[in-house]
Amino acid sequence: MTYHAIEWCPGADGKPVVRMIDQRLIPEQLKTLDYIDFEAVAAAIRDMVIRGAPAIGLAAGYGLALAAVRGPDDPGCLRETLAQAAATLRAARPTAVNLGWALDRMLARLSDPALATADALRSAAVTEAQAIDAENLQMDLDIARNAFPLIPDNANIYHHCNTGPLATGGYGTALGVICYAHEQGKQVHVFVDETRPRLQGARLTAWELQQMGIPFTVVPDGASGHIMRTQKIDLCIVGCDRVAANGDVANKIGTYNLALAASAHGVPFYSAGPSSTVDLATPTGGDIPIEMRPPEEITHISGVRITPEGASVANPAFDVTPAARLAAIITERGVAYPPFTESLARLMGGK
């Protein structure tokens, strides 16, 4: 990869910083920002400098490492700072599951009473954040390798939203699958759903595919049925925000419509993501609450008003694709095929 959504690296003063690509500027500009305190990292998460659930988890982990490295020398005071930093980071985007998960993991490690000095705490915090980073990357690679046999050569692939290195801070999930196939020498072309309202496909996925040298075509979300009717599409692959025990998949709004088009044209539809998104405690997609996002994402584009003043809009962030529309769910643990109730339980058995 030639770019990193987030990195732990030395800053201008030689001390470590958290360096992030400002994703709000992609594709116009590739600009990185260096963060030296946890409050600014929390603000970056809140303001969507970084987005994508796994990438947000990484940012929280590194944010806490920053609090440790730059915090007071007294271990008691440092522990207090860390607790405060974790609370601030957690509040940045309260609905992001990975954010809480990464912070809990960091705090569990740092609660070890054997970490008696500030240096010991600092070292443990940095090591743990880097471990999350490394495991995250490995997970993405395992997803890509598990999916590899499902991608034919000369594949015409349909993709929705953004699931690349920008979204995971690693190798990407669905886009990682595509990238891996490309790197292994398979010819691929990607149809990129632009993904209204936030246009993550048109802005981020198109940019990432350019970086990877993979040919692609951006299309409005409403065009997938037409494209599938008039061209040979080999498969669709998307990410997942939550997978229910029965295989229903919650993902970015528009995923279900793409799955319906795929289904009408016999195109296999895959969802790829870390096994942490498989939630066996959620029986079906009907049990997944759907976040409603601010109306401004619909009423305005790049600050320009689209709808009339006073127009009522609905902005559901996710939809649920019923298990029956999915050919497989791909995780780092392996590939689950229908019937998903059995295959997912088996896959998650060792959890």
CA dist 150 and 142 (Å) reads: 14
- Residue of 316, 342, 345, 346 that binds a second copy (CB under 8 A): 316
CB 61 within 8 A of CB 67: no
Q: Residue 25 interacts with a second copy (CB under 8 A)?
A: no
- Residue of 131, 227, 280, 348 that binds a second copy (CB under 8 A): 227
Q: Residue 72 interacts with a second copy (CB under 8 A)?
A: no
Asked about 241 being catalytic, the answer comes back as: yes
Number of neighbouring beta carbons within 10 Å of residue 266: 8
Judged on CB neighbours under 10 Å (0-12, 13-18, 19+), 315 is middle
Residue number, 176 or 285, with CB nearest to a second copy? 285
Using the rule CB under 8 A, give the single segment among 40-48, 111-119, 145-153, 304-312 that binds a second copy: 304-312
Q: Residue 28 interacts with a second copy (CB under 8 A)?
A: yes
Count how many residues are written for the chain: 351
Q: Residue 261 interacts with a second copy (CB under 8 A)?
A: yes
CA dist 51 and 23 (Å) reads: 8
User: How do beta strands 242-244 and 249-252 pair?
Assistant: antiparallel
Residue number, 131 or 301, with CB nearest to a second copy? 301
User: How do beta strands 328-331 and 318-321 pair?
Assistant: unpaired
Q: Residue 142 interacts with a second copy (CB under 8 A)?
A: no
Under 8 Å CB-to-CB from 294, ≥6 apart: which residues? 315
Among 133, 193, 241, 248, which one carries the catalytic annotation? 241
Q: In angstroms, what is the minimal distance from the CB of 316 to a second copy?
A: 6
The catalytic site residues sit at 241
**Residue ranges in contact with a second copy by CB under 8 A:** 26-28, 191, 193-197, 199, 202-203, 206-207, 210, 215-227, 229-230, 253-261, 264, 290, 298-299, 301-316, 318-320
